[in-house]
Amino acid sequence: MTKIPNLSFTMPVIMLCTRSFMLLITFLTGFSMSGLAQDKLASVDLKNHFWYKNAVIYNLEVSAFKDSDGDGRGDFTGLTQKLDYLSALGVDAIWLAPFQPSPGQDDGYDVADFYAVDKRLGTGGDFAEFVNQAQIRGIRVIMDLVINHTSTQHQWFQEARKSKTSKYHDWYIWSDKLPKDYKVGMVFPGYQEAVWSMDSVSGQYYYHRFYQFQPDLNYANPEVVREAQKIIGFWLNQGISGFRLDAVPFIIEIPKGPGNNPKLDYKFLTDIRQFAQSRKADVVILGEANVVPEENLNYFGKGGEGIQMMFNFYVNQFLFYALASGKLEPFKKALVETQIIPDASQWAHFLRNHDEVDLGRLTEKQRNEVFEKFGPDKNMQLYDRGIRRRLSTMLGNDRKHIELAYSLLFSLPGTAVIRYGDELGMGDDLRLQERISVRTPMQWTSDKNAGFTTADTAFRPVIDFGEHDYKKINVAAQTRDSSSLLSWTTTLIRMRKACPEIGLGDYTVLDTGSPDVLGLRYEHNGKSVVILHNFSDQPQQTNFSVKGADILYDLINNDDKKPVAGKYNVSLKGYGYQWFRVNQLIPN
Ligand code: NOJ
């Protein structure tokens, strides 16, 4: 007799197994399910399982952060000593600029060995100790993955140029003749002569999207793809939680070279993400891709199967325009244009990073307005498109304007990325060339060399002049001052963390009744926050409705608001901002 299974017992088990199986597949395949299926699953219960959707990421260069051995250059042991500082600030993840051996012609973005630590920054052991201590504090480590190109000094290039029969020859991109458009597509105009240069050893021209000493790798060659996977696997084994993928649109050009009308191989991104997730399920790939909104889903993947995160360069440029001009409409439009992304994907928002502020997507008129306000001298501008200054100097060291900018950053839809020293209001040194101006040593104390090093001379000058002099701006002084920018930033980060709706929820741009005030409302799981920012230096009055809100609890000033005739009236000081929680001050 056939045994009839007890369905009331087996069905839930089957359902449970199917679900676990789906989850397993989801992690192992990098969401290769159809976009719809994945989005449904994610919106049901996965959205807040992605750590990177609501994190605070801190970007730093090991060499410029803290020197532990007195040789004048920062190192991993110095960085380890400062982990408590970063933990107290509220940092969830550190993004390390390149730290591998490099001739340093592009400050480490010219890697000479992908599998080692630059000796000047410490040993492999020092690196492991750092990662371990970060993990103990619940801080993840993301590293720059610079695989579009190598240094010309990399062994691969050295072998490649020697002989056409070397297996490495086809790892790079060569041409016997100088291509007609050898000047098209330079990333660093004014500092770069061409994108094809003659290699005297091979007698051929090689392709380099960036500086001449950075030959592009040839990703049409499967061996190069395999090597990129090995690099990823290697660093994941060292405890790395994710990668900031450098120069994404250039890596995926197939074939490379501007003259060839390259197609973009987006599948590469899905493949590399799948590979990374096969080694570590919660790895994140954060892409450096300055693209227009129509391109976004090609990078994220329609169902979120591409790279999980991208810097929102598009919004960043219009944000700078809004900060400089007070005109909000293009910024609001950019927010709306980048609003729809898959549930598992996330934007990384930022104000400043280690490069110039790139304003290339503004109109010439808009760009000139930003130049005029934030970088009027030629020496402040770079590559005909950007500004090589820190935030504080651009905003004239105006505390109110700086607060507005950072309050805004932490309330933008995505994950916030901050640059070391910006929490203190550090400045820049325009005597240093190109983008090095914003990479000066961290200012720890008012002691010699800002407490960065005990050496007589730091590897790069510490800022010791003007309003941003380390004797005035340093961690030690600001730690003991409850009104300092550092104390304010720490409180802001805590407030942001109490509002997970920002990273997870849906948002609407409110009609605030004032052209100068941006109002954002976030909603997630029945909880909601409303945040206002006044871009004008003059006080503004707002008048707006918030559906379903009986009261707005003020998260900063204990000044709660009730609607009058269905509308909220909130006055904001010049550059003022307000964070409110809807209906519940402490949500359940
Ligand atoms: C983008 C990086 O942000 C920049 O600093 C670097 O010079 C180029 N990629 C080349 O790697």
The active-site residue out of 107, 118, 216, 288 is 288
> Given the CA of residue 109, which atom of ligand 1 is nearest to it?
11
Quick check: 451 and 474 in contact, CB under 8 A? yes
Q: Beta-carbon neighbour count of residue 512 at 10 Å?
A: 24
Query: How does residue 45 score in pLDDT terms, banded at 50, 70 and 90?
Result: low
Position 6 scores a pLDDT of: 34
Lowest mean pLDDT among 32-41, 150-159, 240-249, 277-286: 32-41
543 closest CA partner among 526, 521, 560, 565: 565
What distance in Å separates the CA atoms of residue 542 and residue 510, rounded to the nearest whole number?
Answer: 11
How far, in Å, from the CA of 109 to the mean position of ligand 1?
A: 6
User: Ligand 1 pocket, 109 CB below 6 A?
Assistant: yes
Quick check: 98 and 142 in contact, CB under 8 A? no
156 closest CA partner among 69, 501, 147, 422: 147
Position 16 scores a pLDDT of: 33
* pLDDT single digits (tens) 542-562: 999 999 999 999 999 899 999
232: burial class by Cβ within 10 Å (0-12, 13-18, 19+)?
A: buried
- Which of 60, 106, 154, 290 should be mutated for ligand 1, with most atoms under 8 A from CB? 106
288 is catalytic: yes
How far, in Å, from the CA of 354 to the mean position of ligand 1?
A: 9
pLDDT at 520 over 80: yes
How far, in Å, from the CA of 148 to the mean position of ligand 1?
A: 10
Position 502 scores a pLDDT of: 98
What are the structure tokens assigned to 247, written together?
A: 């120069």
The per-residue DSSP string of 540-566 comes to: EEEEE--TT-S-EEETTTS--B--BTT
Q: Whose CA is nearest to atom 3 of ligand 1?
A: 355
Q: Which residue has the higher pLDDT, 46 or 423?
A: 423
Token look-up 């800002």 returns 450
The active-site residue out of 67, 118, 246, 343 is 246
193 is catalytic: no
How far, in Å, from the CA of 229 to the mean position of ligand 1?
A: 20
Position 3 scores a pLDDT of: 34
User: Ligand 1 pocket, 553 CB below 6 A?
Assistant: no
3-state SS, one letter per residue, for 401-462 = HHHHHHHHHCCCCCEEEEECCCCCCCCCCCCCCHHHHHCCCCCCCCCHHHHCCCCCCCCCCC
User: Ligand 1 pocket, 107 CB below 6 A?
Assistant: no
Token look-up 């992908």 returns 114
User: Ligand 1 pocket, 246 CB below 6 A?
Assistant: yes
Position 46 scores a pLDDT of: 75
How far, in Å, from the CA of 403 to the mean position of ligand 1?
A: 28
Q: What is residue 207's DSSP assignment?
A: E
565 closest CA partner among 582, 544, 548: 544
559: burial class by Cβ within 10 Å (0-12, 13-18, 19+)?
A: exposed
Q: Give me the amino acid identity at 199.
A: D
- Average of pLDDT values for 115-142? 98
Position 255 scores a pLDDT of: 86
Ramachandran quadrant class, 496 (left: phi over 0; alpha: psi -120 to 50; beta: rest) = alpha
User: Ligand 1 pocket, 235 CB below 6 A?
Assistant: no
Q: Which residue has the higher pLDDT, 34 or 541?
A: 541
What distance in Å separates the CA atoms of residue 135 and residue 123, rounded to the nearest whole number?
Answer: 19
* pLDDT single digits (tens) 273-302: 999 999 999 999 999 999 999 999 999 999
Quick check: 62 and 55 in contact, CB under 8 A? no
* pLDDT single digits (tens) 458-469: 999 999 999 999
Element (H, E) at 178: none
User: Ligand 1 pocket, 251 CB below 6 A?
Assistant: no
Element (H, E) at 198: strand 196-199
User: Ligand 1 pocket, 275 CB below 6 A?
Assistant: no
Q: Whose CA is nearest to atom 5 of ligand 1?
A: 355
Q: Beta-carbon neighbour count of residue 217 at 10 Å?
A: 23
User: Ligand 1 pocket, 146 CB below 6 A?
Assistant: yes
Name every residue whose Cβ is closer than 8 Å to that of residue 107 and which is 6 or more positions away in sequence: 61, 97, 98, 354, 435, 436, 439
User: Ligand 1 pocket, 248 CB below 6 A?
Assistant: no
Q: Any bridge partners for residue 286, and if so which? A: 244, 309
Average pLDDT, the chain: 93
Position 100 scores a pLDDT of: 98
84 closest CA partner among 162, 22, 136: 136
Q: Give me the amino acid identity at 197.
A: S
- Which of 105, 146, 209, 213 should be mutated for ligand 1, with most atoms under 8 A from CB? 146
Q: Whose CA is nearest to atom 2 of ligand 1?
A: 246
Query: How does residue 9 score in pLDDT terms, banded at 50, 70 and 90?
Result: very low
User: Ligand 1 pocket, 106 CB below 6 A?
Assistant: yes
Quick check: 410 and 90 in contact, CB under 8 A? no
Cα dihedral 418, 421, 423, 426, rounded to 10, equals -120
Position 416 scores a pLDDT of: 98
pLDDT at 268 over 90: yes
User: Ligand 1 pocket, 350 CB below 6 A?
Assistant: no
Q: Three-state DSSP class for 96?
A: strand
Q: For a pLDDT cut of 70, what percent of the chain falls above it?
A: 92
Q: Which residue has the higher pLDDT, 517 or 34?
A: 517
What are the structure tokens assigned to 503, written together?
A: 């990273």
Position 8 scores a pLDDT of: 32
pLDDT at 358 over 90: yes
How far, in Å, from the CA of 146 to the mean position of ligand 1?
A: 8
- Average of pLDDT values for 185-208? 97
531 closest CA partner among 509, 557, 514, 504: 509
pTM of this prediction?
A: 0.93
Residue 60 to residues 76, 82, 240, 342, Cα–Cα distance (Å): 12, 12, 15, 29
